[in-house]
Chain A
């Protein structure tokens, strides 16, 4: 290999700043998307377990659409096609009026996509609570909202913490696709550094290590959460 290694280039100005800013945007995109993904996903997931046909239908359609279209395509559709479907003034506002249009487009796209996956986890969690508990709660006179709030969700959410961790990790890794619509997150900044310095191997190695570090921190936090909310004696995936 005929390559001139130059690690110090990464801590020189402005490249070090680019890495820091890239990492910042990666965390910002992933965290903001996760807020959407968690709440929207929970809502859709719950809709898919109700007995109301309309809610069921909406939930199913949502999941099938957002889960089955490649994320890269969705990014493109949100960024280039969605503003064209709006009335012209609204479209122009989306394209140029809002601050950071690329960032918010990426957040909405990643959030709605991950929501479809979170919804499936939530549905799985709720349906894995034995049906007898649902009947029992109803027999005790709880309203549908109360059945979910006090019986199904507390158990269901605890069961799905491990797969939810995977989704949370996934959102960090998927956030790199935001570079295709011009968000200068970690991967984009890495490429940028490569193009300016031609020290691509150093830059990508650094990005790899940073991604691993971030996902490791996320994993640790989720494990702590899992331990703290565990109810002794309740069946959980960890107990096996």
Chain B
């Protein structure tokens, strides 16, 4: 019965979207410009494994990228352009907001935390992954929580939510921690493994990735409680509720039908880089809550 209902809902949704198609495109600046150009500019990260990274074929792939492809399929239908071309635009943590705000990219697929300050410049689709700040340290170094870092050195990646989280907690607790600022994840890892820093802080999913790629994975640990809450979302341009709704509908459908779990497992459980992260309880709940009905 449930299945039939789901199917019916799906069919209804399709009909609803198709019938509203023409008007929607005209009233949505982003859909209109995509339809006029016949090209969608998809922004993507290049080394956010396994969210968006460059595969062996030189093309972006990953969990976020797969979700974006689903949204683009829907855009093809709505704009009535089955041969819509995808133009891949690589972005970094520094360029992604600016490129979205100035209209260069129509969609950003990577590992971007949805937060309220960023929402002053961009909009987000529903949360598709949940992580938070944790520490990576050498096993046996006695560093398990941030409190253990009093008087020690931590490496932080410049301009990340992790940096803000660590500095905030350190201030609250009155900890005397020395900071080594690094440019990106590989350098942060180098600072930790070469002994310049006692710990490196990042999103826990990314730390697992770094450890799995290091020379001696057995020497390092991901440790401590979550020091921040980082829900990832696909970014879309601001002030276009029709376009944003289109993406929300696609993701809600995936979450309702459970298809998102299949896509998730493809990249995380175990995933091509052996990350072995089943859907967490919080993420499972998030999928349920965001599976809005039609």
Contact = CB atoms under 8 A, between A and B. Distances in A.
A102 B181 contact: yes
Nearest to B159: A195
Contacts, number: 70
Q: Using C-beta atoms within 8 Å of the partner chain, give the interface range for chain B.
A: 20 to 34
B94 A195 contact: yes
Contacts of B195: 92, 95
A4 B159 contact: no
Contact of B101 (A2, A92, A195): A2
Contacts of A196: 117, 159, 164
Question: Which 7 pairs, one residue from A and one from B, show the smallest C-beta to C-beta distance?
Answer: A195-B159, A182-B181, A3-B101, A198-B121, A95-B196, A1-B102, A200-B98
B97 interface: yes
Interface in B92-110: 93-94, 97-98, 101-103
Interface residues of A, number: 27
B194 interface: yes
Given A2-B239, A200-B98, A194 B181 contact: no
Contacts of B160: 195
A102 B158 contact: no
Given A4-B121, A197-B117, A201-B98, A84 B181 contact: no
Interface in A189-209: 191-192, 194-198, 200-201
A143 interface: no
Interface in A153-211: 179-180, 182-184, 188, 191-192, 194-198, 200-201
B190 interface: yes
Nearest to A3: B101
Contacts of B94: 191, 194-195, 200
Interface in B137-188: 153, 158-160, 164, 180-183, 187
B158 A179 contact: yes
18 contacts: A1-B101, A1-B102, A1-B103, A2-B101, A84-B194, A96-B196, A102-B181, A182-B180, A188-B158, A191-B159, A194-B94, A195-B160, A196-B117, A198-B120, A198-B121, A200-B94, A200-B97, A200-B98
